[in-house]
Amino acid sequence: MDSLDLQVLTRARDWRAEGRAVWLVTVIETWGSAPRQPGALLALCDDGQVVGSVSGGCVEDDLIDRVRKGERVASPSTILYGVTNEEAARFGLPCGGNLRLLQEPLTDASWINEVLTRTGKHELVARRLDIASGTVKVEPAQRTTRFTYDGQTLVAPYGPRWRMLVIGAGQLSRVLAPIAVALDFEVTCCDPREEYHLGWDVPGTILSTGMPDDVAIEMQLDAQCAVVAVTHDPKLDDLVLLEALKSPAFYVGALGSSRNDAKRRERLAMFDLPPEAIARLRGPIGLNLGSRTPAEIAVAIVAELVAVRNGVTQTQRDAQRPRGAAAETAAQPVAGSAHAAH
Protein backbone atom coordinates (compact mmCIF):
# COMPACT_ATOMS: atom_id res chain seq x y z
CA MET A 1 0.00 0.00 0.00
CA ASP A 2 1.31 3.45 -0.90
CA SER A 3 1.70 5.34 2.40
CA LEU A 4 0.14 8.32 0.63
CA ASP A 5 -3.09 6.30 0.39
CA LEU A 6 -3.39 6.40 4.18
CA GLN A 7 -3.20 10.19 4.10
CA VAL A 8 -5.75 10.35 1.29
CA LEU A 9 -8.23 8.06 3.02
CA THR A 10 -7.80 9.75 6.40
CA ARG A 11 -8.35 13.22 4.97
CA ALA A 12 -11.34 12.05 2.90
CA ARG A 13 -12.93 10.52 5.99
CA ASP A 14 -12.36 13.70 8.00
CA TRP A 15 -13.89 15.87 5.28
CA ARG A 16 -16.99 13.68 5.22
CA ALA A 17 -17.21 13.89 9.02
CA GLU A 18 -17.33 17.69 8.61
CA GLY A 19 -20.30 17.33 6.26
CA ARG A 20 -18.34 18.12 3.11
CA ALA A 21 -18.92 16.52 -0.27
CA VAL A 22 -15.92 14.38 -1.23
CA TRP A 23 -14.86 12.46 -4.33
CA LEU A 24 -12.22 9.78 -4.68
CA VAL A 25 -10.29 9.70 -7.95
CA THR A 26 -8.31 6.59 -8.88
CA VAL A 27 -5.96 5.93 -11.80
CA ILE A 28 -7.39 2.82 -13.46
CA GLU A 29 -5.41 2.65 -16.70
CA THR A 30 -2.37 4.31 -18.28
CA TRP A 31 -0.66 4.39 -21.66
CA GLY A 32 2.78 5.73 -22.46
CA SER A 33 4.69 7.71 -19.85
CA ALA A 34 1.87 8.59 -17.46
CA PRO A 35 3.31 9.94 -14.16
CA ARG A 36 1.31 7.70 -11.80
CA GLN A 37 0.47 4.01 -12.02
CA PRO A 38 -2.94 2.29 -11.77
CA GLY A 39 -4.19 2.41 -8.20
CA ALA A 40 -2.84 5.90 -7.47
CA LEU A 41 -5.44 7.71 -5.38
CA LEU A 42 -6.62 11.28 -4.86
CA ALA A 43 -9.37 12.79 -2.69
CA LEU A 44 -11.12 15.99 -3.73
CA CYS A 45 -13.24 18.17 -1.44
CA ASP A 46 -16.14 20.35 -2.58
CA ASP A 47 -14.16 23.54 -1.80
CA GLY A 48 -11.31 22.50 -4.09
CA GLN A 49 -8.96 21.08 -1.47
CA VAL A 50 -7.10 18.03 -2.67
CA VAL A 51 -4.85 15.37 -1.18
CA GLY A 52 -3.01 12.69 -3.10
CA SER A 53 -1.91 12.65 -6.71
CA VAL A 54 -2.90 11.14 -10.06
CA SER A 55 -0.46 13.09 -12.24
CA GLY A 56 2.24 15.72 -12.11
CA GLY A 57 -0.25 18.42 -11.12
CA CYS A 58 -2.10 19.68 -14.20
CA VAL A 59 -4.72 16.93 -14.12
CA GLU A 60 -5.34 17.71 -10.46
CA ASP A 61 -5.85 21.38 -11.38
CA ASP A 62 -8.42 20.39 -14.01
CA LEU A 63 -10.30 18.16 -11.57
CA ILE A 64 -10.42 21.00 -9.04
CA ASP A 65 -11.64 23.39 -11.71
CA ARG A 66 -14.41 20.97 -12.73
CA VAL A 67 -15.68 20.72 -9.15
CA ARG A 68 -15.58 24.48 -8.64
CA LYS A 69 -17.59 24.93 -11.83
CA GLY A 70 -20.26 22.56 -10.51
CA GLU A 71 -19.31 19.34 -12.33
CA ARG A 72 -19.91 16.91 -9.48
CA VAL A 73 -20.43 13.28 -10.40
CA ALA A 74 -23.14 11.43 -8.46
CA SER A 75 -22.00 7.87 -9.30
CA PRO A 76 -18.73 6.17 -10.32
CA SER A 77 -17.68 7.31 -13.79
CA THR A 78 -14.51 7.43 -15.85
CA ILE A 79 -12.62 10.33 -17.38
CA LEU A 80 -9.77 10.17 -19.91
CA TYR A 81 -6.83 12.59 -20.14
CA GLY A 82 -4.20 12.92 -22.84
CA VAL A 83 -6.00 11.46 -25.86
CA THR A 84 -4.03 13.75 -28.19
CA ASN A 85 -0.44 14.95 -27.95
CA GLU A 86 -1.72 18.49 -27.46
CA GLU A 87 -3.91 17.45 -24.55
CA ALA A 88 -1.11 15.35 -23.08
CA ALA A 89 1.17 18.39 -23.16
CA ARG A 90 -1.53 20.56 -21.60
CA PHE A 91 -1.98 18.19 -18.69
CA GLY A 92 1.72 17.55 -18.14
CA LEU A 93 1.70 13.96 -19.45
CA PRO A 94 5.14 13.32 -21.01
CA CYS A 95 5.69 11.55 -24.32
CA GLY A 96 2.01 11.48 -25.21
CA GLY A 97 1.08 9.62 -22.05
CA ASN A 98 -2.59 8.96 -21.35
CA LEU A 99 -4.46 8.04 -18.21
CA ARG A 100 -7.99 6.98 -17.41
CA LEU A 101 -9.43 7.91 -14.04
CA LEU A 102 -12.38 6.65 -12.05
CA GLN A 103 -14.28 9.32 -10.13
CA GLU A 104 -16.58 8.24 -7.30
CA PRO A 105 -18.54 10.19 -4.71
CA LEU A 106 -17.71 9.24 -1.12
CA THR A 107 -21.21 8.84 0.28
CA ASP A 108 -20.34 6.44 3.09
CA ALA A 109 -16.95 6.64 4.79
CA SER A 110 -17.47 3.74 7.20
CA TRP A 111 -15.38 1.44 5.02
CA ILE A 112 -12.47 3.86 5.39
CA ASN A 113 -12.58 3.45 9.16
CA GLU A 114 -12.45 -0.31 8.69
CA VAL A 115 -9.49 -0.08 6.31
CA LEU A 116 -7.58 2.26 8.63
CA THR A 117 -8.29 0.12 11.67
CA ARG A 118 -7.29 -3.15 10.08
CA THR A 119 -4.19 -1.84 8.32
CA GLY A 120 -3.21 -0.24 11.63
CA LYS A 121 -3.08 -3.80 12.96
CA HIS A 122 -0.78 -4.75 10.05
CA GLU A 123 -3.58 -6.60 8.26
CA LEU A 124 -3.78 -6.68 4.47
CA VAL A 125 -7.24 -5.88 3.11
CA ALA A 126 -8.83 -5.00 -0.22
CA ARG A 127 -11.56 -2.55 -1.10
CA ARG A 128 -14.02 -4.00 -3.61
CA LEU A 129 -16.08 -1.34 -5.37
CA ASP A 130 -19.12 -2.37 -7.41
CA ILE A 131 -19.23 0.21 -10.20
CA ALA A 132 -22.96 -0.16 -10.95
CA SER A 133 -24.18 0.36 -7.39
CA GLY A 134 -21.25 2.28 -5.92
CA THR A 135 -21.20 -0.02 -2.89
CA VAL A 136 -17.91 -0.90 -1.18
CA LYS A 137 -16.91 -4.04 0.68
CA VAL A 138 -13.70 -4.53 2.65
CA GLU A 139 -12.33 -8.06 2.48
CA PRO A 140 -9.16 -9.93 3.42
CA ALA A 141 -6.37 -9.79 0.86
CA GLN A 142 -3.15 -11.63 0.15
CA ARG A 143 0.33 -10.21 -0.39
CA THR A 144 -0.08 -11.14 -4.05
CA THR A 145 -3.32 -9.14 -4.40
CA ARG A 146 -2.94 -6.41 -7.00
CA PHE A 147 -5.00 -3.44 -8.06
CA THR A 148 -7.52 -4.47 -10.74
CA TYR A 149 -10.33 -2.81 -12.68
CA ASP A 150 -12.46 -4.60 -15.28
CA GLY A 151 -15.19 -2.03 -15.88
CA GLN A 152 -17.55 -3.62 -13.39
CA THR A 153 -15.44 -3.99 -10.26
CA LEU A 154 -12.48 -2.17 -8.78
CA VAL A 155 -10.25 -4.01 -6.31
CA ALA A 156 -7.65 -1.97 -4.43
CA PRO A 157 -5.37 -3.58 -1.81
CA TYR A 158 -4.39 -1.69 1.32
CA GLY A 159 -1.84 -2.72 3.88
CA PRO A 160 1.79 -3.81 4.19
CA ARG A 161 2.43 -5.96 1.13
CA TRP A 162 6.18 -5.43 1.61
CA ARG A 163 8.00 -6.43 4.80
CA MET A 164 11.45 -5.67 6.18
CA LEU A 165 13.27 -7.51 8.93
CA VAL A 166 16.05 -5.39 10.45
CA ILE A 167 18.52 -7.11 12.78
CA GLY A 168 19.86 -4.68 15.37
CA ALA A 169 18.13 -1.82 17.19
CA GLY A 170 21.07 0.59 17.13
CA GLN A 171 21.34 4.12 15.77
CA LEU A 172 21.45 3.10 12.12
CA SER A 173 18.26 1.06 12.45
CA ARG A 174 16.51 3.98 14.14
CA VAL A 175 17.13 6.03 11.00
CA LEU A 176 16.55 3.22 8.52
CA ALA A 177 13.21 2.05 9.93
CA PRO A 178 11.21 5.30 9.45
CA ILE A 179 12.44 5.60 5.87
CA ALA A 180 11.33 2.03 5.19
CA VAL A 181 7.93 2.70 6.75
CA ALA A 182 7.52 5.72 4.45
CA LEU A 183 8.32 3.39 1.54
CA ASP A 184 5.41 1.12 2.52
CA PHE A 185 7.31 -1.59 4.35
CA GLU A 186 6.00 -3.25 7.46
CA VAL A 187 9.17 -3.06 9.56
CA THR A 188 10.13 -5.58 12.22
CA CYS A 189 13.26 -4.77 14.19
CA CYS A 190 14.79 -7.76 15.99
CA ASP A 191 17.37 -7.41 18.73
CA PRO A 192 17.65 -9.78 21.71
CA ARG A 193 20.19 -7.51 23.41
CA GLU A 194 18.39 -5.72 26.22
CA GLU A 195 20.69 -2.72 26.23
CA TYR A 196 19.62 -1.94 22.65
CA HIS A 197 15.93 -2.79 22.44
CA LEU A 198 14.82 -1.02 25.64
CA GLY A 199 15.13 2.36 23.94
CA TRP A 200 13.43 1.44 20.68
CA ASP A 201 10.76 4.06 20.03
CA VAL A 202 10.21 4.12 16.25
CA PRO A 203 6.48 4.63 15.49
CA GLY A 204 4.78 2.23 13.10
CA THR A 205 7.29 -0.58 13.61
CA ILE A 206 7.30 -3.92 15.40
CA LEU A 207 10.02 -4.74 17.94
CA SER A 208 10.99 -8.36 18.53
CA THR A 209 13.39 -9.48 21.27
CA GLY A 210 13.66 -13.06 20.05
CA MET A 211 16.64 -14.63 18.33
CA PRO A 212 16.88 -13.38 14.74
CA ASP A 213 16.79 -16.81 13.08
CA ASP A 214 13.69 -17.75 15.08
CA VAL A 215 12.00 -14.50 14.09
CA ALA A 216 12.86 -15.07 10.42
CA ILE A 217 11.31 -18.54 10.56
CA GLU A 218 8.20 -17.22 12.30
CA MET A 219 7.77 -14.50 9.67
CA GLN A 220 7.79 -17.10 6.88
CA LEU A 221 9.90 -14.90 4.63
CA ASP A 222 8.52 -14.61 1.11
CA ALA A 223 9.40 -12.84 -2.13
CA GLN A 224 8.14 -9.52 -0.76
CA CYS A 225 10.50 -9.53 2.22
CA ALA A 226 13.80 -7.75 2.75
CA VAL A 227 16.28 -8.75 5.45
CA VAL A 228 18.88 -6.23 6.61
CA ALA A 229 21.49 -7.30 9.20
CA VAL A 230 23.36 -4.42 10.84
CA THR A 231 24.52 -5.60 14.30
CA HIS A 232 28.19 -6.39 13.42
CA ASP A 233 27.72 -9.46 15.64
CA PRO A 234 28.18 -12.74 13.71
CA LYS A 235 26.23 -14.61 16.38
CA LEU A 236 23.17 -12.57 15.40
CA ASP A 237 23.73 -11.58 11.78
CA ASP A 238 24.97 -14.95 10.53
CA LEU A 239 22.05 -16.83 12.06
CA VAL A 240 19.41 -14.77 10.32
CA LEU A 241 21.36 -14.72 7.04
CA LEU A 242 21.38 -18.52 7.00
CA GLU A 243 17.59 -18.53 7.10
CA ALA A 244 17.09 -15.55 4.81
CA LEU A 245 19.35 -16.84 2.05
CA LYS A 246 17.38 -20.10 1.96
CA SER A 247 14.12 -18.16 1.64
CA PRO A 248 12.56 -16.39 -1.37
CA ALA A 249 13.29 -12.95 0.22
CA PHE A 250 13.98 -10.51 -2.60
CA TYR A 251 16.71 -8.68 -0.70
CA VAL A 252 19.21 -10.00 1.86
CA GLY A 253 22.05 -7.72 2.94
CA ALA A 254 24.53 -7.23 5.76
CA LEU A 255 26.52 -4.24 6.95
CA GLY A 256 30.31 -4.33 7.08
CA SER A 257 33.54 -3.72 5.22
CA SER A 258 34.60 -5.70 2.16
CA ARG A 259 37.03 -7.64 4.35
CA ASN A 260 34.32 -8.55 6.86
CA ASP A 261 31.95 -9.43 4.04
CA ALA A 262 34.46 -11.94 2.66
CA LYS A 263 34.86 -13.53 6.09
CA ARG A 264 31.09 -13.68 6.48
CA ARG A 265 30.73 -15.56 3.21
CA GLU A 266 33.38 -18.04 4.34
CA ARG A 267 31.47 -18.66 7.58
CA LEU A 268 28.19 -19.15 5.72
CA ALA A 269 29.84 -21.72 3.45
CA MET A 270 30.80 -23.74 6.53
CA PHE A 271 27.09 -24.34 7.17
CA ASP A 272 26.67 -26.16 3.85
CA LEU A 273 24.88 -23.20 2.31
CA PRO A 274 25.18 -23.65 -1.47
CA PRO A 275 27.26 -21.12 -3.42
CA GLU A 276 24.23 -19.86 -5.33
CA ALA A 277 22.51 -19.01 -2.06
CA ILE A 278 25.57 -17.20 -0.69
CA ALA A 279 25.82 -15.28 -3.96
CA ARG A 280 22.43 -13.72 -3.18
CA LEU A 281 23.91 -11.91 -0.19
CA ARG A 282 24.35 -8.19 -0.74
CA GLY A 283 27.43 -6.90 0.99
CA PRO A 284 28.91 -4.52 1.65
CA ILE A 285 25.33 -3.34 1.82
CA GLY A 286 24.02 -0.24 0.06
CA LEU A 287 24.87 1.86 -2.98
CA ASN A 288 28.20 3.68 -3.06
CA LEU A 289 27.12 7.18 -2.04
CA GLY A 290 30.25 7.95 -0.04
CA SER A 291 28.10 7.60 3.07
CA ARG A 292 29.51 8.41 6.49
CA THR A 293 26.72 9.22 8.95
CA PRO A 294 23.97 6.78 10.00
CA ALA A 295 21.45 8.80 8.00
CA GLU A 296 23.60 8.68 4.86
CA ILE A 297 24.20 4.97 5.30
CA ALA A 298 20.46 4.39 5.72
CA VAL A 299 19.78 6.28 2.49
CA ALA A 300 22.38 4.16 0.66
CA ILE A 301 20.81 0.94 1.94
CA VAL A 302 17.29 2.00 1.06
CA ALA A 303 18.36 3.22 -2.38
CA GLU A 304 19.78 -0.21 -3.20
CA LEU A 305 16.77 -1.97 -1.72
CA VAL A 306 14.30 0.09 -3.77
CA ALA A 307 16.33 -0.50 -6.93
CA VAL A 308 16.21 -4.26 -6.33
CA ARG A 309 12.49 -4.12 -5.55
CA ASN A 310 11.88 -2.23 -8.81
CA GLY A 311 14.05 -4.61 -10.84
CA VAL A 312 16.68 -1.98 -11.66
CA THR A 313 20.21 -3.28 -12.22
CA GLN A 314 22.80 -1.34 -10.24
CA THR A 315 26.37 -1.13 -11.54
CA GLN A 316 27.54 1.91 -9.59
CA ARG A 317 29.62 -0.14 -7.17
CA ASP A 318 31.74 -1.35 -10.08
CA ALA A 319 32.14 2.06 -11.68
CA GLN A 320 35.57 3.63 -11.97
CA ARG A 321 36.47 5.75 -8.95
CA PRO A 322 36.50 9.53 -9.57
CA ARG A 323 39.81 11.36 -9.74
CA GLY A 324 40.99 14.60 -8.18
CA ALA A 325 39.72 16.05 -4.93
CA ALA A 326 36.94 13.49 -4.63
CA ALA A 327 39.24 10.50 -5.03
CA GLU A 328 40.16 10.22 -1.36
CA THR A 329 36.53 10.15 -0.27
CA ALA A 330 35.52 7.77 -3.05
CA ALA A 331 38.25 5.34 -2.11
CA GLN A 332 36.65 4.70 1.27
CA PRO A 333 34.47 1.59 1.86
CA VAL A 334 30.98 1.87 0.42
CA ALA A 335 27.80 2.78 2.25
CA GLY A 336 27.62 1.27 5.72
CA SER A 337 31.09 -0.23 5.58
CA ALA A 338 32.61 3.13 6.45
CA HIS A 339 30.54 2.97 9.60
CA ALA A 340 31.74 -0.53 10.40
CA ALA A 341 35.15 -1.00 8.87
CA HIS A 342 36.48 -2.59 12.05
Q: Residue 268: which CATH number?
A: 3.40.50.720
Shared-domain flag, residues 21 and 146: yes
Same domain, 196 and 279: yes
CA distance 60 to 57: 5
* Structural domain harbouring 104: 3-158
Please, are residues 139 and 124 in contact by the beta-carbon 8 Å criterion? no
Task: Indicate if 174 and 322 belong to the same structural domain.
Answer: yes
Q: What is the pLDDT of residue 298?
A: 96
Q: Are residues 133 and 214 in the same domain?
A: no
Write the pLDDT tens digit of every residue in 199-227.
899 998 999 999 999 999 999 998 889 99
Structure confidence by residue, pLDDT tens digits, 123-160:
889 999 999 999 999 999 987 889 999 999 999 998 87
Nearest CA among 75, 79, 77 for reference residue 134:
75
Q: What is the pLDDT of residues 28-67, one digit of tens each?
A: 998 766 667 899 999 999 999 999 988 867 788 889 999 9
239 to 19, 271, 278, 333: CA distances (angstroms): 55, 10, 13, 24
Phi, psi of 164 (to 5 degrees): -130, 130
Distances (CA, A) of 298 to 147, 172, 335: 30, 7, 8
Pair (102, 169) in one structural domain: no
Last residue of a domain, one of 158, 186, 212: 158
The CA distances from residue 340 to 108, 200, 231, 315, in Å, are: 53, 21, 10, 23
Boundary (domain end) residue, out of 158, 177, 200: 158
Q: Which residue has the higher pLDDT, 159 or 8?
A: 8
What is the spatial distance between Cα 273 and Cα 259, in angstroms, rounded to a whole number? 20
Q: Which of these three, 140, 158, 176, is where a domain ends?
A: 158
Q: Which of 120, 115, 165 is nearest to 141 (CA)?
A: 115
Tally of domains within the chain: 2
**Mean pLDDT across the stretch 71-100?**
75
152 and 226 part of one domain: no
* Confidence category of residue 97, pLDDT binned at 50, 70, 90: low
- Whether residues 33 and 122 share a domain: the answer is yes
pTM of the predicted protein model: 0.67
Statement to judge: residues 145 and 166 lie in one domain: no
- 179: which residues sit within 8 A by CB, 6+ positions away? 298, 299, 302
- Measure the CA–CA gap between 315 and 221, rounded to whole angstroms: 27
- Same domain (yes/no): 113, 182: no
The pLDDT, as a whole number, for residue 223 is: 87
Do 191 and 219 touch, CB atoms closer than 8 A?
no
CA 51 to chain centre: 19
The mean predicted confidence, pLDDT, of the chain is 85
Closest CA to 76 of 107, 37, 52: 107
Q: Are 278 and 253 in contact (CB under 8 A)?
A: no
Looking at the structure, tell me whether residues 14 and 125 fall in a common domain: yes
Q: Cis omega before residue 212 (within 30°)?
A: no
- Same structural domain, 278 and 176: yes
Find out whether 191 and 167 touch, Cβ atoms under 8 Å: yes
Same domain, residue pair 83 and 167:
no
Query: Which of 92-106, 225-239, 278-292 shows the lowest per-residue confidence on average (mean pLDDT)?
Result: 92-106
